[in-house]
Every structure is written in structure tokens, then in C-alpha cells.
Amino acid sequence: MKLPPSKRSHKAALIFMLPAAGLVLNGCAEKEVTAQVFSTPDECAAFYNPPAQCQAAFAEAEQLHPKVAPRYANKQECEADFGAGQCETAPEQHQQGSFFMPMMMGFMAGQMLNRGGLAAGSGQVTSQQTTGSTGRNTVPTQPLYKSRDDRNTFRTATNTAVASQPGTTNIRPSAVQPKPAALARRGGFGAQAAQRSANRSYGG
């Protein structure tokens, strides 16, 4: 049977505005994997890991640090997040001077150290790491940071809390994929909205 012609949509379904949408979008649950977190190579060795591998993991994280640490346009903004004396100059310059970044406060060794998984680490931000879209089933070795108001928690460069004490921790790999540090200026849009706040909407 042919439907009579209609002036309205054939369907008007919603998928992600519905309360249950989270189930649709999150996909399959990701498995946690084990990684180890330390402040220094010595602390790593004190946890019965081979000292040479601790040193190698630390060196790899240290090499990654200037590539991924969060960037700030000046020292004050950096110290506001990471604490007085906890920031250093970053390699890049902007028009008014240097970018700043927090100091590295520890490292996360992705593979189980005493099983020899570290030897292949290159210390480069590989394309796999920087795209952030593939290779998400392992935890890359990387630098860790501590914020000004929470000196116990180790955080990744993208501000994911990974552990509050040295030793073994369980991590979802997708949450800790290193990304190139963002040197972006932000807040360049929206000023007119703030000025003309009489409006409830900026549409019409």
C-alpha cells in the first residue's frame, strides 16, 4: 500500500541525546593493563626491577618530556598549575618570549620491567604515539607530573591521574597515549557573547 504524501519527516529519531546513548557510543569496554610508576630510577630499582632497565625507562621518559609536557605562555600560568619553582622553559619561543612547561616528576614504565619489555624503546615520539588513534593496547613509557594542589598524584602530560604512590598500577591504555604538546592560544572566540550577556542564546 502506498502511503499518502506527507509534509513531515518520515521519522524523527534521536540517538545520542537520549539518556541511554552512552551505551551506544562507548563501544566495548577496554581492558586495563599493568604499568609501573616511579619518581626516580633508584626508586624503580628498589622495587626489585633490573637497574639498567629502570635507567633505560627513565631516559626514554626524559626524552619524551619536552615533546609532550603541557605548554604555558608564561611562567606564572605554569606555576599556577604546578607550583612555585616547578616549571622550566620549554624549547619553543613565542612572540613575547619562551613557553614554559612543568618539570618531570616521575615516569611510567609501560611494560613489565623485569620481563624485558623495555629494551626496544627508542625514546622518540613515534607516529603511532602522536596520532593517538592506533596502538592503544599498550602503555607507552612516558614522563609524569604533579600538580600544585595535589603533590601525591602522578599525572600524565594530558592530566590523567595514573597513581598516588610508586609501584604497580592498572591503566586503560587509551587514557595515557602521549600527544604532541599543544602550543595553542585559546579563548579567542566568545568575547562578544560575554559582553552582550543580555542574551540567553547567540542564535536567533
Count of beta carbons in the 10 Å neighbourhood of residue 112: 15
Choice from 2, 31, 115, 186 touching another protein (CB under 8 A): 186
State which of positions 3-62 bind another protein (CB under 8 A): 6-19
Nearest to 112 by CA among 43, 169, 158: 169
Q: Which is nearer to another protein, 131 or 168 (CB)?
A: 131
Q: Which is nearer to another protein, 85 or 187 (CB)?
A: 187
Candidates 32-40, 41-49, 52-60, 183-191: pick the segment binding another protein (CB under 8 A).
Answer: 183-191
Q: For residues 77 and 91, give the distance between their C-alpha atoms in angstroms, rounded to a whole number.
A: 17
Candidates 103-111, 138-146, 164-172, 194-202: pick the segment binding another protein (CB under 8 A).
Answer: 194-202
Choice from 2, 23, 29, 189 touching another protein (CB under 8 A): 189
Question: Radius of gyration over alpha carbons of the chain, in Å?
Answer: 23
Cβ neighbourhood burial of 202 (10 Å; 0-12, 13-18, 19+) = exposed
Going by the DSSP 8-state scheme, the letter that residue 182 receives in this structure is P
Residue ranges in contact with another protein by CB under 8 A: 6-19, 132, 158, 179-193, 195-196, 198-204
